[in-house]
Amino acid sequence: MKKTMVVAVFVLLAATQFLNGQVAQKIYNLQKAYVFLEEELLVNDTDLNCSYFIRDKVPQDIRIVGNHTMDSQVESFTNADELVIDSGAKDGLKEGDMLVILSEGNVIHHPRNHDRLGRFFFKKSLARITCLYDKQAVIRLQNGCQPVHVGDFALPYAPEATVFAKRADYKYCRIPDNAVSGQVVYTDLTMGIPSDMSGDQQYLTVDLGEGVVGKGSFLLFYRLVASDLPPLIVGLGVVIHSENTNSTVKVLDAGTDMRVGDRVLVLPREAAAAKPGQPGGEELPVVESLPGAEETAGEATVAGAALNYSILFPFDGVTPLADPSADFAAIRDFVAGKSEYVVTLRGYACSIGGEEYNLRLSSRRVEAIKGMLVSQYAIDPGRIETFFYGEKEPQFDNSTEAERRKNRLVKIEVNAQ
C-alpha cells in the first residue's frame, strides 16, 4: 500500500513539473520597453474642458435660448438637463453632435503696459444634440463643471489630446540663463471669478503665447523679493492652452500662492531633467533592450518577413483609418498551426507634438492593434511582440503634411523565429 502511494505521489509530481515546463515554454512576450520615469497625466480632460482662455473674440452663432423642461423657474442647469439652442439642421448641425458650452467675461488687459490681451471665455460643460429641428435643437448637458444658464453660447466640440509625460523636476535654486521669460497677468479660481492668487491645480494666465510655448510646455515661476536678494522660485506649471497673446497654465507645484506680476520662464528640457552638479539630464525616453536584441529599430522592412502590412491612423488617433479586417484575417490564417512565426508590431507617430506624447501615442496605436488581433482574431498574445518609436524613427520625411500622414502608422511583420 505504501509503495503504491509513493508511486502515485511520484507520478503526480512528475506531471506537475511537466505541465509547468510546458506553460513556461509557451508563455513568452518579447518586448522592447520604453522607460517613463514618473510619467503621469499632467493635463487631463477636466483641464481641457473645464478651464478658461483669453482670446480677442469667439464665434457665438449658437446660443442657449430656453429651458426644455416644465419648470420655467429654474435658472441654473447641470448634467442631464435639457436646453434649447437657436441653431438646427439648416445651420449644419446633426443629432449626436457634441458641443462645448461657454460663457463670456470681461476684457483682460496686461497689468504692466495695459495692452489688451483679449476677452475671458470660460468652458462650462459639454452637451450632445438629442433632437433636431430646422432652426433649433435640444441639447443634453454632460460632463459639466459649472452651472449653465440661458444666454450662454456653444461651439462645436473638438476633442483635444491630454498630456501624459514626466513632470519636470527642476533641481537648481537659481534661474536658468538665457531663458524665455514673461509674467503672470491673470489668476483665476476655476469659476470665472478673478482672484489675486492661485495655488496647486488652479489656473492662471501668462503673457507668453503661441510660437513661444504650447500645450505641455513647463514654466518656472519666480518672484523678485528685493533688489538686493536673489529671485525666489515659487512654483512650476504646465501650459494647457495657448493663444496669440497669452497662455492658460495649470499650476503643478506651488511653494506659495502665485500672484499677478510674478515672473515666469520657459523651462528648457535639459534644465528640467538636470541634477545638481550635472550639466544636463538624460533625455527621455530611455530605450531598454532585451539581452541579445541586435535588430535596428525602425527598419522599413525585415528580411525574410512572410507578411508585411502598414495600418494608417488619423492625426492624434488610435483607430485605423481603413478597415483592417482582411489583413488581420490573413495573418490569423497564416500563423494558424505555425508556432515558429511571431507577429511584430511597430508603432510610429508624426513630428507634430512633443516627443514624449508622440511616443505614448505610438504605444497606444500598437496596443490597439494588438488588442484587435487578440480579441477578434484569437492570436495568442504570447506570439505578438511590440515596439514603439514615436517620432524618433520616421519612416517618411516629416517636412510636409502628406509625408506626416504616412508616419502615423503601425507596421505589422510576420516572421519565423
Residues 97, 118, single domain; the answer is yes
Banded model confidence at residue 307, pLDDT cuts 50, 70, 90 = confident
Residue 125 belongs to a domain with what CATH number? 2.40.10.410
Query: At 82, which amino acid appears?
Result: E
Q: Domain boundary at 241, 273, 305, which?
A: 273
For residues 157 and 14, what is the distance between their CA atoms, to the nearest angstrom?
A: 63
Residues 234, 268, single domain; the answer is yes
Q: Domain boundary at 156, 176, 211, which?
A: 156
Residues 326, 392, single domain; the answer is yes
Residue 383 belongs to a domain with what CATH number? 3.30.1330.60
Q: Is residue 114 part of a domain?
A: yes
Query: Does residue 404 surpass a pLDDT of 80?
Result: yes
What's the pTM value of the predicted model, to 2 decimals?
A: 0.57
Q: Is residue 1 part of a domain?
A: no
Residues 126, 221, single domain; the answer is no
Q: Is residue 78 part of a domain?
A: yes
Q: Is residue 401 part of a domain?
A: yes
Q: State residue 31's pLDDT score.
A: 40
Q: Is residue 8 part of a domain?
A: no
Handedness of CA 143, 146, 147, 152 (dihedral sign): negative
Handedness of CA 355, 360, 364, 367 (dihedral sign): positive
Q: Is residue 312 part of a domain?
A: yes
In this predicted model, what pLDDT tens digit does every residue of 84-102 receive, in sequence order?
999 999 999 999 999 999 9
Residues 315, 363, single domain; the answer is yes
What domain range is 391 assigned to?
295-416
In this predicted model, what pLDDT tens digit does every residue of 27-64 receive, in sequence order?
334 343 333 345 788 998 889 998 999 999 999 999 99
Residues 365, 399, single domain; the answer is yes
Strand ranges inside 143-180, DSSP E:
153-156, 163-166
Q: State residue 179's pLDDT score.
A: 67
Q: State residue 8's pLDDT score.
A: 52
In this predicted model, what pLDDT tens digit does every residue of 138-147 receive, in sequence order?
999 998 888 9
Residues 85, 50, single domain; the answer is yes
For residues 266 and 19, what is the distance between their CA atoms, to the nearest angstrom?
A: 58
Residues 344, 299, single domain; the answer is yes
Residues 182, 126, single domain; the answer is no
Q: Find which of 118-127, 178-187, 204-213, 299-308 is predicted with most confidence, using mean pLDDT.
A: 118-127
Q: Is residue 30 part of a domain?
A: no
Q: Domain boundary at 113, 139, 156, which?
A: 156
Q: Which residues of 67-76 are buried (b: 16+ CB within 10 A; e: fewer)?
A: bbeeeeeeee
Residues 145, 169, single domain; the answer is no
Residues 254, 300, single domain; the answer is no
For residues 35 and 109, what is the distance between their CA atoms, to the nearest angstrom?
A: 44
Residues 321, 261, single domain; the answer is no
- Domain tally for the chain? 3
Q: Is residue 399 part of a domain?
A: yes
Which has the higher per-residue pLDDT, 278 or 115?
115
Q: Which residues of 391-410 are buried (b: 16+ CB within 10 A; e: fewer)?
A: bbbbbbebeeeeebbbbbbb
For residue 116, what is its C-alpha cell?
489688451
